Structure 1
Amino acid sequence: MPGNNNIVLKRIRGFHVGGRRRVVTGFDTRPRSRVPGDAPVAVDMNGDHMIGQLYATEYRQADARFALPVLLWHGGGLSGACWEDTPDGGAGWLDYFLRGGFDVVVSDAFERGRASFPPYPQFLPQPPEHRSLGAVWHHFRFGPEGSYPDPLTPESLRAHAYAGQQFPVEHLEQFGRQFVARWAGTDDFALQAYAELLKKAGPCVVIGHSQGGSYALECARRHPDLVRAVVAVEPAAAPADELALDGARMAPHLFIWGDRIDDNPTWVRYRAAAERYAQRLRDTGLRADGLRLPEQGVRGNSHMLIMDRNNQAIAAMVAAWLREVLPSSAAGAAPLSE
């Protein structure tokens, strides 16, 4: 494990990429007070706005062990913060891959986090979804349907969770502090911004979780010259059956699934769609591997397996797969430490 390796960086920088200037109208132009107690002033927000950008933080190693950077793409209702640590204060996948010698780029997708979101309802007409703690309890497979406890205490959360649950459910409130609004119907904006990020990053590895996994699959299909390996961690969708595939140019794929999926019809459907897509990839001659963790003896993982207590061990499985599938020219002088 790279956990004992020091992280030595030559650069950390943040930047926005993508987005276009759009005219947005429909704002109320009545005077308003900008400072409590101050006299109202005219504020006209109608006009040019930047729409569609994402935000990324780039971590560059002082001595990278791999030529290809790893891009980490988050899921719906979350931001890039989900890669940084776990709700109980443990290390996340950002820490793992940095200690393993990879350059890493972490994104906040369109309308999330530091990417900012366009005006609502002036530009995004539909209201956003704000997920509650109770809404994610069963959907993220922390516990059985209808088992969200009341009152909410660390003891009741653990008692109502699935037996052997790897997610630190006692810290559910800490997890909820990073929830952000999400809009439906914004996939095109997100994919355009991710395409711009790929162009800026150059050839790379993309690891996407949930909705980010779906975007990773689509971007690997659209941009085979830039995505050299893709890891889809419980993708919530897959490219449609009628879309063309160029297996001769596309990258190797790895699909990862946690536990208790058969207890949740939504995730049964998501996994089935992703596995149909994986089979289509294999039919073109492309390598598309599946990793069902329970079948490997790794049990208790939730949908948030990138935050589960054993997340570092799962990251090590991903790193081992990358070492296997990436060409030797992608590796630096030293391999990723075990």
Structure 2
Amino acid sequence: MSRGFRWVGGSRTDTPMGRGLSGAMYVEWEKPEGPGSSTPVVLVHGGGGQGTDWLGTPDSRPGWAPLLVERGRSVYVVDRPGYGRAAGTAPEGEKCGPAPTLEMTAGIFAAGADPRHTQWPGPGGPDDPAVVNLAASSASVPLDQAAAQQRDGDRLIELLESIGPAVLITHSLGAPAGWLAAAARPDLVEAVVALEPPGPPFLNAPQMGLSLDWGLTSAPLPYEPAVSAPQELREGSTWTVPGLRGLPVAVVEAEASPLGGGAGAVADYLRQVGARADHIRLADHDVRGNGHGMVLELNNHDILDVVLRWLDSVGLSS
């Protein structure tokens, strides 16, 4: 196998610590021996997470990145600007919300109160070591989500321009960057797998600093007919997103997640704007007991198998 890392986009700036990068995305890549898959996979982390969420689990099992490489896929794991290994690249003066607390992290990923949630690698709750580790690796989210999503989408496009067409797998708040990149450059996105993207469409959640003014995103999507202001989208006309037309999309929902309730509505909206969207309920595939952090959980390999079978079904097998 071969592996490495690279920086994508951004600009050189002067900081109190010397010369630095602003707005750059960090990308770690790994390729299997031999030809591997003709379609690489780009993994986009969610919310305040980071690329390492795809590398391993809190109990030291392999994450989706190494599992995909074992299955013959070339994998690109990104840290969005301002997160993880790209933590120092957030634009100077960018305002962010509060840092994730143990209680907040537990509430999203492992509250420990839902008897259906059996796959988290720990007891759950704010004192759970797995929750403590996850909170320690998390960062606060920019308050200007429109600008952050647009920046993330632009960086994904730059990455795709250098590696060629790929499958995007996004988690949670990483999904808007995926929608924006796919809509702008459909020639570079073969399919999107969105693990519990923010929704339902037009969600307004001020407590999260999130408003999906453009349906699936806070940043403008290129609708047809052209839309000059997002409120037009609520006025009853039929709108499409030409760049998403015919794009295979899987919207994945876990059984015991507090954030999975909008998945079906997101899939419905994607079909409305032209995508070939499937709503995948893991429980329908006999994959039970998962929460929002499904890629970190005990049966993460079973969830990946569901995703790979779906990719097979749309003609994107290894």
TMscore range, shorter length = 0.7 to 0.9
Structure 1 residue 256 corresponds to structure 2 residue 209: no
Q: How far does the alpha carbon of each residue in 1:216-242 deviate from its partner, in whole angstroms, 9 at most, with x for none?
A: 122111210000111001012567347
TM-score of the superposed pair, with normalisation by structure 2: 0.77
Q: Deviation of residue 55 (structure 1)?
A: 0.3
Tell me the residue number matched to 1:137. Answer: 106
Aligned to 2:269: 277
Larger radius of gyration: 1
2:59 partner letter: D
2:136 aligned residue (177, 195, 210):
177
Structure 1, gaps ≥5 residues long: 1-8, 25-44, 144-156
Of 57, 60, 79, which aligns to 2:28? 57
In 1, Cα distance between the equivalents of 2:77 and 2:277? Answer: 24
Deviation at 1:14, TM superposition (A): 0.5
Distance of 2:171 and 2:90 partners within structure 1: 27
| Alpha-carbon distance in structure 1 between the residues aligned to 2:8 and 2:28 | 11
Measure the CA separation in 2 of the matches of 1:190 and 1:60: 23
The amino acid that maps onto 2:133 is Q
Label 1:322 to 1:128 Cα distance change in 2 as closer, same or farther (>3 A): same
Distance 1:235 1:254 in 2: 11
- Which runs of no fewer than 5 residues in structure 2 stay unpaired? 124-129, 202-211, 216-220, 225-240
**Aligned Cα root-mean-square deviation (Å):** 2.6
Following superposition, the deviation at residue 68 of structure 1 comes to 0.9
Following superposition, the deviation at residue 132 of structure 1 comes to: 1.3
Q: Which residue, out of 274, 291, 294, partners 2:283?
A: 294
Deviation (angstroms), 1:138? 2.1
SS at structure 2 position matched to 1:205? strand
Correspondence for 2:68: 97
Q: For this pair of structures, how many residues does the alignment match?
A: 275
1:165 aligns with 2:122: no
Report the residue type matching 1:202 in the other structure. G
- How far apart, CA to CA, are the structure 2 residues paired with 1:119 and 1:100? 34
| 2:152 aligned partner | 190
- Residue 20 in 1 paired to residue 24 in 2? no
The aligned counterpart of 2:228 is none
- CA change 1:247–1:280 in 2 (3 A) is farther
Q: State the one-letter code of the partner of 2:137.
A: Q
| Counterpart among 215, 219, 222 of residue 177 in structure 2 | 215
Change (3 A) 1:116 1:163: closer
For 1:300 and 1:276, locate their aligned partners in 2 and report how far apart those are by CA, in whole Å: 24
Pick 1 or 2: higher relative contact order, CA cutoff 8 A, min separation 6.
Answer: 1
Question: Structure 1 residues 130, 321: CA separation in 2 closer, same or farther (over 3 Å shift)?
Answer: same
TM-score by length of 1: 0.73
Conserved? CA contact 2:117–2:291, under 8 Å: no
How far has the Cα of 1:98 moved from its partner? 0.7
Is contact 2:58–2:121 with CA below 8 Å preserved after alignment? yes
Question: In 2 relative to 1, CA 56–298 (structure 1 residues): closer, same or farther, beyond 3 Å?
Answer: same
Task: Check 1:188–1:14 CA distance in 2 against 1; reply closer, same or farther (3 A cut).
Answer: same
Structure 1 Cα separation of the partners of residues 36 and 309 of structure 2: 14
- Runs (4+) of structure 1 exceeding 6 A deviation are none
Residue pair 2:184, 2:243 contacting (<8 A) in 1 also: no
Q: Work out whether residues 66 and 102 of structure 1, in 8 Å CA contact, stay in contact via their aligned partners in 2.
A: yes
In structure 2, what is the equivalent of residue 154 of structure 1? none
Assess if the C-alpha contact under 8 Å between 2:248 and 2:276 holds in 1.
Answer: yes
Distance 1:208 1:116 in 2: 19
**TM superposition shift of 1:184:** 2.4
